[in-house]
Amino acid sequence: MLESPPKMHQLLLFALVAALTVATAHAQEIPGRVQVKAYVGEGYVRGSEGTYGKGAEQGGSIEFRPFSRIGFMLDVNRLNHSGSIVNPGGANEWWDIIGTAVHSSGSLVYHFSGVRFEPYVFGGAGAVRVSRTIYIKSDFIISNPSRLCLSGCEPRPIPTRFDQRTFKGTNAAAQIGGGIRVPLVWRLSFQPEFRFVQSSDIRLAHAVFALAYTH
């Protein structure tokens, strides 16, 4: 199992400590507040060889907000992705990739309260569990069309070797993100978010739309 890049953790730790120090100095205590959120969206996955594709994402979170501007969020989401890579690492291969990435994290949230559409940013750390299957085509030969061909007559590369590889693993990951809170009715709100996740194995980018209930 590989460890997360140390530089990412150092930057994340510095940002969280700085945000907590500044924000706590200006925060006002408010009665206990809990927010439960469910969301759907789309995510994009990239690895060292290239893009691992994109796909649908579902997740949920719970945030405890003891101060007017500061909250602590626990989150878990699952991304199902698929994509293709041509000539990964310069190899004469074609990869078709199908996989999942399950990300669990804890984050510090800072709310820019006092405005109607309340923006917020967050940063934290957790773990991402990946599972992907790679279907590999290689050893291509060029197929020449028949003299009687009437359409689609260009030479075509045809693979002669087929392999399959499966990868599974869990790595530490850091994340940053942000969104806005749009009040609806009762205690409901609509919250579009962007998230970026970095681990030693992959990078994730998410765009999600959440429905949240605050108590």
Is the CATH number of domain 6-23+33-146+155-214 3.40.50.300?
no
Cβ–Cβ contacts within 10 Å for residue 107, how many?
A: 23
The mean pLDDT of 69-98, rounded to a whole number, is 92
Of 174, 69, 77, 171, the closest CA to residue 124 belongs to: 174
Of 105, 107, 106, 98, the closest CA to residue 79 belongs to: 98
Question: Given this model, what pLDDT does residue 6 score?
Answer: 45
pLDDT band at 68 (very low <50, low <70, confident <90, very high): confident
Q: Where are the domains of the chain?
A: 6-23+33-146+155-214
Of 176, 142, 189, 148, the closest CA to residue 39 belongs to: 189
Residue that wins the pLDDT comparison between 7 and 99: 99
Residues 203, 45: Cα–Cα separation, whole Å: 6
Question: Given this model, what pLDDT does residue 113 score?
Answer: 81
Phi-psi domain of 69 (left: phi exceeds 0; alpha: psi -120 through 50; beta: other): alpha
Q: Which residues contact 181 (CB under 8 A, 6 or more apart)?
A: 111, 117, 118, 119, 120, 189, 190, 191, 212
Question: 61: which 2 tokens?
Answer: 């979170």
Flag the least confident range among 40-49, 66-75, 91-100, 109-118.
109-118
132 pLDDT above the threshold of 90 = yes
Question: Given this model, what pLDDT does residue 157 score?
Answer: 74
> How far from each other are the two terminal CA atoms of the chain, in whole angstroms?
40
Residues 100, 81: Cα–Cα separation, whole Å: 6
Residues 132, 59: Cα–Cα separation, whole Å: 19
Question: Given this model, what pLDDT does residue 98 score?
Answer: 97
Query: Tens digit of pLDDT for each residue in 91-130?
Result: 788 899 999 999 999 999 999 988 778 899 999 999 999 9
DSSP designation for 88:
G
170 pLDDT above the threshold of 60 = yes
The mean pLDDT of 191-207, rounded to a whole number, is 95
Question: Given this model, what pLDDT does residue 30 score?
Answer: 46
Residues 189, 119: Cα–Cα separation, whole Å: 12
Question: Given this model, what pLDDT does residue 150 score?
Answer: 60
The mean pLDDT of 77-104, rounded to a whole number, is 92
What share of the chain has pLDDT > 70, as a percent?
A: 80
If you search the block for the tokens 């994109």, which residue do you land on? 54
